[in-house]
Amino acid sequence: MTIPRSDAAESYDWRTVVELSVDTVGVAIPVVGRGLRPGVRAEWGDRNRFKLPGGGFVGVGVGEMAWIEASLPNRSRGENTAGLSLEETKEAIDDLVAEALYFVEPGPAREISTESGVSRTVSVRDPRVVRLDLVRDFHLKDPSRLTPILDGLARVPHDGRIKVRRFADGRTGRAETLRVGPASWAATLYDKHVESGGMAERGSLRAEFRLRSRQLSSVSTQSRHGAVVSVSDMTPERCEGIRRDWFDKAKFGTWVGGHHTIWDALFQTELSDREKLFFVGWLQARNDSFTVDISSKTDRRYRRILSSLPDLGGVGGEVKMRLNYETGAEEVD
C-alpha cells in the first residue's frame, strides 16, 4: 500500500491503513569527527542541530554519531492521521538519512553494545534505532464513550514510579489525553479526531507508545521478542510483540466503569479532597431539604459545580467498557 502525500490526503480512506503502524522514529548513524560536512557550519551558523527540508531534524556533537528524527507520516503526506507500515517506515528512514547526509559526513560502520549487552554493527545503511513510536488506533463504535474510557483508565492503579496524567492538551486543540509513564518512556491515549483538526473520524482514539533504545533493547524485550537495536531488527513480529507489551504495561485494556459513585462524578472537578467531603455533605443536606449554614459564595460555587456534573441519577449504573486490542474498538459488558 502506498501512502499518499498531502495533495491526495482529502481523498484518502484512513480506514484502509494497516493495524501495525509507526509515527515518529529517531535513528543514529556514525559520522566523522563532529559530523558536519565542510562548510555547513559557516553556512548555517554555529549550531549542532539542523531542520531537515522535508521535516524533522539532524543533530551532531555526541559520540561521533548523528541523531536524525522525524514524524514519518508528516514527512510522507503532511499530516499523521494514520501511521506508516513497517515497509513504508523503512523506506521513509532511508529518505530521512539521505536528506541528513547533506549536513553530516558519514563515517564507517561501527559496532555498538547496549546496556543490556546486545551488540550490533550500525551504519548509514542500517542505522541504530534510538526512538520508535509504535501506534495502535481504535475506532469507537460509540464516540460518547471516549471520555468515560479515558476517565476510567486515569484511575487505574500503577506502580508508584509511573506517573499518570489526564488533561486536555493545549498543543493539539485541547484533545482529551491520558499519558502514562515516567520520563524515560510514555504511553499516550488521546482523541485523534480533535488532535487532527477533524481529519480523523469522531471516536478515533490513538494509543501511542514512545520508546527509546533502552526499552527497545532491554533484557525483558530481548528475552520475549528480540531486541530492536538497528533498523534491520524492526520485523513485524518483533514490533507487534513490543507494542502489545507496552499496551498491557500502560493498562490501556483494563475494564473500566461498572458501579459509579458520586466520587467518580467529582473526579474531574476543581475541588480538593477536603472540599469534596464538604460538597457531598452539602449535596446530601440539599437532597434531604436540610438547611446548612454556609456562605452565599460557597453555596453559589457548589451549585455551579453541581450543574456541571453529569446526571447523578445515572450514578450507580453497571456499564463496563474496555479497549479491545484485537478488534481496535471498545468492548462493552
Domain that holds residue 284: 259-317
Last residue of a domain, one of 72, 93, 108: 108
Total number of domains constituting the chain: 2
- pLDDT the model gives residue 290: 82
How many angstroms separate the CA atoms of 233 and 129, rounded?
9
Give a yes or no: residue 157 inside a domain.
no
The identity of residue 216, as a single letter, is L
Give a yes or no: residue 328 inside a domain.
no
Give a yes or no: residue 322 inside a domain.
no
pTM of the full structure: 0.78
- pLDDT the model gives residue 46: 63
- pLDDT the model gives residue 88: 96
Cell of 178: 491520558
Give a yes or no: residue 243 inside a domain.
no
- pLDDT the model gives residue 11: 39
How many angstroms separate the CA atoms of 191 and 332, rounded?
19
Max intra-chain CA distance, the chain:
82
- What burial class does residue 1 get, using C-beta atoms within 10 Å of its C-beta: 0-12 exposed, 13-18 middle, 19+ buried? exposed
Give the dihedral sign, CA 299/301/307/313: negative
Give a yes or no: residue 19 inside a domain.
yes
Last residue of a domain, one of 87, 108, 129: 108
Q: DSSP state, 160?
A: T
Give a yes or no: residue 46 inside a domain.
yes
Q: How far is CA 234 from CA 83, 92, 126, 132, 227, in A?
A: 15, 14, 11, 10, 9
Contact 181, 205 (CB under 8 A): no
Give a yes or no: residue 169 inside a domain.
no
Cell of 189: 491515549
Cell of 47: 549550531
Last residue of a domain, one of 108, 131, 146: 108
Contact 173, 199 (CB under 8 A): no
C-alpha closest to that of 167 among 138, 190, 201: 190
Residue ranges in the chain modelled with pLDDT below 50: 1-18, 313-317
- pLDDT the model gives residue 35: 87
Give a yes or no: residue 93 inside a domain.
yes
- pLDDT the model gives residue 300: 87
How confident is the model over 48-78, as pLDDT tens digits?
A: 899 999 999 999 988 899 999 999 999 999 9
